[in-house]
Amino acid sequence: MPCSISPGKVILFGEHFVVKGEPALGLAVSLYAKVCVEYGSGKIYSKNLGVIEKDSPHYPLFNRIMTTIDKRYGLAKPVDIVIESSIPVSSGMGSSAAVAVATTSSLLELIGVSYTRRDIWEIAHEAEKAVHVNPSGVDTTLSTYGGLLLYRAGEFKRIELSLPKNVSLVIVNTGIQRNTGVVVREVLELKERLGVVGDYVYKAAGSIIDKALEAIKASDPHALAILMLVNHGLLWAMGVSCRKCDDIIYELLDSGALGAKISGAGRGGIIIALVEKSRVNEVFERLSKRYEIYIAEPDYHGVRVL
Ligand code: PMV
């Protein structure tokens, strides 16, 4: 019974600004979707969501994977799929892409064809189109290949660097779900209204990426953390924060985090913080009573068969 795991992701820098051509930096993180498959009766079962029936909004993702694989390689018999994911859903962490990538990987193992990571990416990206309008491919790319990804104007570049070893990422789920499309549209409207002021905000956000890459190269978590706060300030200026988001950021900083910011579309979703490993337990203890909180490390491997 082949099983695969694939990582979720966070956006370290540049969300929203990337929509207007500035660069952004994403990172695959150690929260995983695990998917096992075997020949059976065509049942899809998620440990979080229960049985996924044909009328479920989640069904099209799996259906598209199976029809795409069938077209490419032939999928002789019905398969059962079992999903177990620790990636929070609808929070901007790419849970559907991770499930799509892990499902594709396990199915290709099951049918025993030879395949590359690029094949997994293509099939999972096709499946993402069945559930998201116009997916950028960022989530699928990070889930497939892992690591750090610089992207700009639809172009992806894997960055062969590692985050400083003495820090972890702490991820707090605000529990506020929002519609990415609506937030993106409102941010773009505000940018237009702001005119040249908006242009400066976007330029500043773009130049954060160069500084962030320098900080990563120099293995300097303090420099990286300040840039996260500045990036959050720019997102705040564009109306992307929320009261609970800012409360959580202050609590993270008060408990010892070096820096923190919204990650993804904002107005809720997740907050990410950079925390020295020696202080992670303290931060976790202080916030876990009231929030859903995860300690994560970068994942530099992407999808793998277990
Ligand atoms: O919350 P997420 O991971 O779906 O990220 C949205 C990122 C935006 O920059 C706000 C939109 C986009 O398509 O890049």
Out of 143, 180, 189, mutate this one to test ligand 1's pocket (max ligand atoms within 8 Å of CB): namely 180
Q: 3-state DSSP call for residue 2?
A: coil
**pTM (predicted TM-score):** 0.96
147 Cβ partners below 8 Å, 6+ apart? Answer: 27, 28, 158, 159, 160, 298, 299, 300, 302
268 lines ligand 1 (CB under 6 A): no
The pLDDT score that the predictor gives to residue 135 is 84
Residue-by-residue DSSP string for 198-215: HHHHHHHHHHHHHHHHHH
Ligand 1 centroid – CA 265 distance (Å): 5
Which candidate, 209, 203, 244, 239, places its Cα nearest to that of 227? 209
The pLDDT score that the predictor gives to residue 272 is 98
Per-state percent for the chain, helix, strand, coil, to nearest 5: 45, 25, 30
Q: Which atom of ligand 1 is nearest to the CA of 264?
A: 1
φ, ψ of residue 153 in degrees (nearest 5): 45, 45
Amino acid identity, residue 24? Answer: A
265 lines ligand 1 (CB under 6 A): yes
Which candidate in 80, 139, 199, 210 is catalytic?
Answer: 139
d(C-alpha 94, C-alpha 111), whole Å: 26
The pLDDT score that the predictor gives to residue 75 is 80
Q: Which atom of ligand 1 is nearest to the CA of 19?
A: 14
145 Cβ partners below 8 Å, 6+ apart? Answer: 28, 117, 121, 158, 302
pLDDT tens by residue, the chain, 306 residues: 999 999 999 999 999 999 999 999 999 999 999 999 999 999 999 999 999 999 999 999 999 999 999 999 988 799 999 999 999 988 889 999 999 999 999 999 999 999 999 999 999 999 999 988 788 899 999 999 999 999 999 899 999 999 999 999 999 999 998 888 899 999 999 999 999 999 999 999 999 999 999 999 999 999 999 999 999 999 999 999 999 999 999 999 999 999 999 999 999 999 999 999 999 999 999 999 999 999 999 999 999 999
280 lines ligand 1 (CB under 6 A): no
* 139 catalytically annotated: yes
d(C-alpha 106, C-alpha 125), whole Å: 16
Maximum CA extent, the chain: 60
Using alpha carbons, list the distances in angstroms from residue 120 to 78, 101, 180, 211, 306: 20, 6, 26, 33, 16
22 lines ligand 1 (CB under 6 A): no
Helix axes 280-288, 243-254, angle to 10 degrees: 140
Which candidate, 145, 171, 168, places its Cα nearest to that of 156? 145
The pLDDT score that the predictor gives to residue 33 is 98
Query: Would you put residue 46 in left (φ > 0), alpha (ψ -120 to 50) or beta?
Result: beta
Count other Cβ atoms within 10 Å, centred on residue 193: 9
Nearest-CA residue for ligand 1 atom 5 is 264
Q: Which atom of ligand 1 is nearest to the CA of 17?
A: 9
CA neighbours within 13 Å on the CB side: how many for 252? 33
d(C-alpha 235, C-alpha 231), whole Å: 6
Return the structure tokens found at 122. 């293509």
Q: 3-state DSSP call for residue 173?
A: strand
99 lines ligand 1 (CB under 6 A): no
The pLDDT score that the predictor gives to residue 90 is 85
Residue-by-residue DSSP string for 84-144: EE-SPTTSSS-HHHHHHHHHHHHHHHHHT----HHHHHHHHHHHHHHHSSS--SHHHHHHH
128 lines ligand 1 (CB under 6 A): no
